[in-house]
Amino acid sequence: MSGFLVVNADDLGVSRGATLGILEAHRHGIVTSASLAVTTPGYGHALTECVARCPALGVGLHFTLTSGRPVSPCRDVPALVDEAGFLRWRFLPLLAALAVPAPGRPEVLAQIELELEAQIQRVLADGVRPDHIDGERHVHLIPGIFEAVIEAAVRHGIPFVRFGSDIGARLVRPGHVARLIGSGGFAKSWLLTALTKRDRRFAHPAVRTAGRFASYLYSGKPGIILERVLTAGPSDGITEIMVHPGVPEESRDLALGNREIERYLASPDRAAELSACLAARKWATGWRLATFGQLAAEPGAAR
């Protein structure tokens, strides 16, 4: 069996605008799946306006350590929050803190495991059975965190975690190079690809991943990703395409404790991603659109 495609929208619930974009991209575009953040003010809106109204949408956990407020009481996770009670970590400092053994590392990891369980318990309590886990800003790939995510997935019967091989390098054309260098896309892709290769050694047979992933390199540029991947035709196994559609004007005046993510959600680029997701259905001929939950029950869906 081949040609399975999951088009997963990250950031469900991070803002009202992100949720509305995902809702539109699912109903009228190519999005089959979404990753739900539970630490942000838009979580309740996402449950009522998207999850409850879109039974065919696959929903997973967008594990978050970089924006919003923890589900755990702040007193239980002091290493994860700032003085205002917002989740304080950013990807590179967190990677530096956890990549090598150091004093304080076990305590930080223990608090991360506590918060991960709390986030899973929140979605379960609200009637959501997540079919996958990934991380906001890809924090789930960081050594130590990845092992905790895999253990949690096994414990709760969550069938998929994102650690597939990035196929973004196959999409590069000469006209893209300058922009990718300027945006830091090559450095980001190299780092995240190195982490996924490392993480595969710590995976568990009960937890699967989409073998082909698009794309760390082209994150935020779905017009290129969707057209090139889809028009190339179906590939063996499972392909995941990551998108971030949104309605920027509905993502203004956010209070997430992370200015970078606040600007990202309010950027016109999110509307461009939405337009790309709507247009992409015409390129999907021959692909088998699916959710991770459907693939978990599909015996012929290899990685």
* Domains of the chain, first to last: 4-296 (3.20.20.370)
What was the pLDDT predicted at 102?
78
What was the pLDDT predicted at 1?
47
What integer is the mean pLDDT of 51-69?
98
**DSSP string for residues in 25-48:** HHHHSS--EEEE-SSSTTHHHHII
Tokens 């509307």 appear where? 271
What integer is the mean pLDDT of 270-280?
95
pLDDT beyond 90 at 177: no
Contact predicate 56/31, CB 8 Å: no
What integer is the mean pLDDT of 244-273?
96
Cα 220 from Cα 174, distance rounded (Å): 18
What was the pLDDT predicted at 302?
62
Encode pLDDT of 71-100 as tens digits. 999 999 999 999 999 999 999 999 999 987
3-class SS at 94? helix
Cα 112 from Cα 191, distance rounded (Å): 22
What integer is the mean pLDDT of 108-129?
98
Contact predicate 256/227, CB 8 Å: no
> pLDDT tier at 169 (50, 70, 90 boundaries)?
confident
What was the pLDDT predicted at 161?
98
pLDDT beyond 80 at 180: no
Distances (CA, A) of 210 to 134, 218, 276: 12, 17, 22
pLDDT beyond 90 at 174: no
What integer is the mean pLDDT of 266-274?
95
As a whole number, the mean pLDDT across the chain is 92
Encode pLDDT of 185-222 as tens digits. 678 888 999 999 999 999 999 999 999 999 887 776 77
pLDDT beyond 50 at 48: yes
> pLDDT tier at 101 (50, 70, 90 boundaries)?
confident
Could you tell me which of 62, 78, 72, 52 has the C-alpha nearest to residue 15? Answer: 62
